[in-house]
Chain A
């Protein structure tokens, strides 16, 4: 008999629908979420290359001879960037600017954004400034008192200010001390004459291409390099957004693997019911002469066909999920999603096969051993559906699925062992409880006694039901809670009025007028912090350049650091060791150091640090280490002194404030009033970060919906599994004279009890799992959820009671004989 025809006939039975939906969901989740994650990953990698404006960068303080790049391997593109500081002059006005001269084809990755007017709307540009022109940071226009089209002087060359420069991909994040940017053409550097031998110049040679030829470039150039030359690749510049997306991706994968596990359970339940319902069919077919191999072929073929169908359908649905997910995060990712590969199809097919092999086949394969004598004696063959093997196969399948999906043995082992222990204990407990109902039953009278003892008789099925419902609920609670705590953390990092503009270099006599100006325009600042610039020169009396361990962290000592002082520990700082200022008679000044900075330089509480500030030495002892929240966008300092130490040194102040995009024109006024103040705009970065949060949460929501669907499926499969025996028993009870009222009460009570227990277990289990997920997987503070303990049992009890009653309403409403005849 043809499998297809058989499948079509079987389909009408109805049991296959649930099996197919469960399989389909598993495949959809895998191919949708995993496919999305894969494409996102590739996209992020591509995106992150923009932050270098290339795939690989050679950074050097000297110009390399052109011959060095004469022979590049095929497929490698290259461009040059020269960066230096120089004065730019327009009429009377002069400004120290950070000049960036670029060659044709810059940037190799990402794009320049410019605007027709200062602080105007951004436009992408594919070109670089033509020779003889310059693109200027918006804030330079008011500072120099010029407009678009006016001329400015850079050394010997006169350039026309043609565009306002909004941003370049490789602008970098080290914004302190960097002057306003002027982007020019490489050809104008020589003509300007400002770059002389000995000038402080950064040369960057950009390369883009596949990793093979890039590696060749690296080897070829290596002999010509000195210690001062450095290669930069992606790993050095992992941007913030990529980190957020990565976390979101990890969450998606976790949620996805839970979803797949749930779908697997649903498959197992559906397959169990399917084979239960086919015991009679198989017995009849065997009596009619079907051999067990024929039965096997028919049913296994059937299931495999189902797997194939769900693999294909699920793949298509998965593509839909991917598209939806990308649509949700469209403004966030600067890239068009890379084309999908066939991997999700393969992944989906493997999922379908694994699900089928470990969850569906064991119960179905047992059909082959149904004795034909069952046609005469219906009680035969029931026991053949033992759950031991199915459970073993199921767990093995789950393990493989989750392992393959998350790629982490530890994670999967931890989750599975944890879940197994919780559920195992729970199962025993629940079984005990149901058994103890027996005593109750003894005491009860009449039909109530029958109902209670039916419950006791079904105790194994009921315990199983409680445990599997608890599992579904637990997963759901975990995912909901993990999602909302991720979201809360993200939102906390970026409240809507997060400061998005910094003012640095505010002279002491400007502090009051700037404060007044901000007040006048209703702009709330984070306060003005005094700041002294100095270098760290000795650690415990030793010259920092002579400490070998510091070699790798030259950047931390090679530059001027911002030093500040404060009476109180700043709001979002946390002491991690030592004490805040102590009243000591010690003459030595006290300083508090940011912990990561301290770690890089091997500094701990008690270390003595030597500084040089404006030519004067200062010695201080570390009294505490602090952690900072860099995301708060307030001025933060690696080094904070106790009050009274730095006041004597020349200082400037720094502040940050929030400014709406519509109010940005105000900055023209501010900067022309206080031309020496440096403005740093962070609004684009923050806006981007906020879009990340908004859109990633939308994506997480979609996945949540899939998980809810899985949990519902498990619930439905679960209720259906026990439906036949329940209908049967209750119909008999009714023929024996039980009133509808009693049956309804019994049913509701039994289901409510099942839901209550499941909810309780799920609440406890979710709390434990969440603790592990938050601390181990998402690197977050664990949170507690007292609501779970209350809401989960009550919610589950009412939900299960209502849906259980709905599924069984027939036995309450219909005449019992009808029910009995149908079964």
Chain B
């Protein structure tokens, strides 16, 4: 499903070059759930962004669902994301001007889905917010906002879901319930899940864990398993 080969990312900072990722390779199969863990600043978000096609690697190749990302321009990657990818972010990233339902409808509408409203309603019901369709993000608590974000991520039934520290901005209890929801939705739809976190408990719920440190893969539990 996802294949990265010798991927590295370097950025120019002031007059020196900073190497964030150093020749990383990995392979993630359909339906797998993978946690990327590591200390803050180790390059987790960078790797996630690259795998999701939000950014281009400095070196190396990435394939997403068989498509060679290097060969696509930003619009091509966007089209691919629209078709296959869902996101959950640490800072929720709901659009403040849209209601909960409209936020969930957004990716569906971008695809031209005519039943966007019903599907969105359905998914908001599933995350337990069926009664708050018309509320704006600012009227929702952090946990509720993240649940809307979950509904938005799963509603288009993506093949792959990327989540960057989805509970990073939430307190422990709320975070736990959001996590439960995330995994149960994931189980229902058997989506491939790539989850960045620094919480060991959350990481344990994934079948496979990749540990990053200073831009390098230190450990990959998946490698040890027979394919």
Contact = CB atoms under 8 A, between A and B. Distances in A.
Interface of A: 1, 9-10, 12-13, 280-281, 283-294, 371-373, 375-378, 822
Which of A9, A13, A290 neighbours the largest number of chain B CB atoms within 10 Å of its CB? A290
Contacts of B164: 376
A293 B81 CA distance: 15
Given A281-B95, A292-B74, A373-B49, A287 B102 contact: no
B83 A289 contact: yes
B106 A288 contact: yes
A258 to B, nearest CB: 34
B45 A10 contact: no
5 contacts: A286-B74, A288-B82, A289-B111, A292-B78, A822-B138
| Nearest 3 pairs of A and B residues by beta carbon | A289-B82, A13-B97, A291-B75
Nearest to A822: B138
Contact of B89 (A9, A13, A376): A376
A375 B74 contact: no
Nearest to A10: B97
B199 to A, nearest CB: 18
B67 to A, nearest CB: 13
Nearest to B98: A9
A375 B110 CA distance: 17
Contacts of B55: 371, 373
Given A289-B111, A377-B45, A284 B78 contact: no
Contact of B49 (A1, A291, A376): A376
Contact of B54 (A285, A291, A292, A375): A375
B93 interface: yes
A281 B82 CA distance: 16
A292 B89 CA distance: 21
B96 A372 contact: no
B87 A13 contact: no
B143 interface: no
A1 B54 contact: no
Interface of B: 45, 48-49, 52, 54-55, 74-75, 78-83, 85, 87, 89, 91, 93, 95-98, 102, 106-107, 109-111, 138, 152, 164
Contacts of A280: 93, 95
B75 A288 contact: no
Nearest to A281: B95
Nearest to A14: B97
Contacts of A9: 97-98, 102
B82 A375 contact: no
A371 B74 CA distance: 9
Contacts of B110: 1, 285, 288-290, 294
Nearest to B82: A289
Nearest to A283: B93
Contacts of A10: 97
Given A289-B82, A290-B82, A291-B79, A375 B93 contact: yes
Contacts of B152: 288
B72 to A, nearest CB: 11
A289 B78 contact: yes
A232 B216 CA distance: 96
Contacts of B87: 287-288, 375
Nearest to A284: B93
A347 B188 CA distance: 59
Contacts of A378: 91
A822 B137 CA distance: 10
Given A372-B78, A376-B45, A289 B97 contact: no
A286 B54 CA distance: 9
Which of A1, A13, A284 neighbours the largest number of chain B CB atoms within 10 Å of its CB? A284
A378 B164 CA distance: 14
A290 B96 contact: no
Contacts of B97: 9-10, 12-13, 281
A376 B74 CA distance: 16
Contacts of B79: 289, 291
A280 B87 CA distance: 14
Given A9-B98, A822-B138, A292 B75 contact: yes
Contacts of B138: 822
A372 B110 CA distance: 15
A286 B80 CA distance: 11
Contact of B48 (A289, A290, A371, A376): A376
Contacts of B80: 289
B49 A284 contact: no
A284 B95 contact: yes
B135 to A, nearest CB: 13
Given A288-B87, A289-B85, A376 B54 contact: yes
Given A13-B97, A292-B74, A372-B81, 11 more contacts: A9-B102, A284-B93, A284-B106, A286-B78, A287-B81, A289-B85, A290-B78, A372-B74, A375-B89, A376-B89, A377-B45
A259 B87 CA distance: 47
Contacts of A287: 52, 54, 81, 87, 93
A727 to B, nearest CB: 15
Contacts of A371: 54-55
Which of A12, A293, A372, A378 neighbours the largest number of chain B CB atoms within 10 Å of its CB? A372
Contacts of B48: 376
B81 A289 contact: yes
A286 B75 CA distance: 9
Contacts of B85: 289
A113 B89 CA distance: 83
Contacts of B111: 289
A51 B91 CA distance: 76
A293 B110 CA distance: 12
Nearest to B81: A289
Contacts of B109: 1
A686 B109 CA distance: 70
A660 B96 CA distance: 70
B182 to A, nearest CB: 18
Contacts of B75: 291-293
Given A287-B81, A288-B81, A289-B85, A13 B96 contact: yes
Contacts of B95: 280-281, 284
Which of B48, B80, B83, B111 neighbours the largest number of chain A CB atoms within 10 Å of its CB? B111
Contacts of B45: 376-377
A78 to B, nearest CB: 69
Given A293-B75, A376-B89, A288 B49 contact: no
Contacts of B54: 287, 371-373, 375-376
A371 B49 CA distance: 11
A371 B52 CA distance: 13
Contacts of B98: 9
A16 to B, nearest CB: 10
A285 B75 CA distance: 12
Contacts of B83: 289
Which of A280, A285, A291, A294 neighbours the largest number of chain B CB atoms within 10 Å of its CB? A291
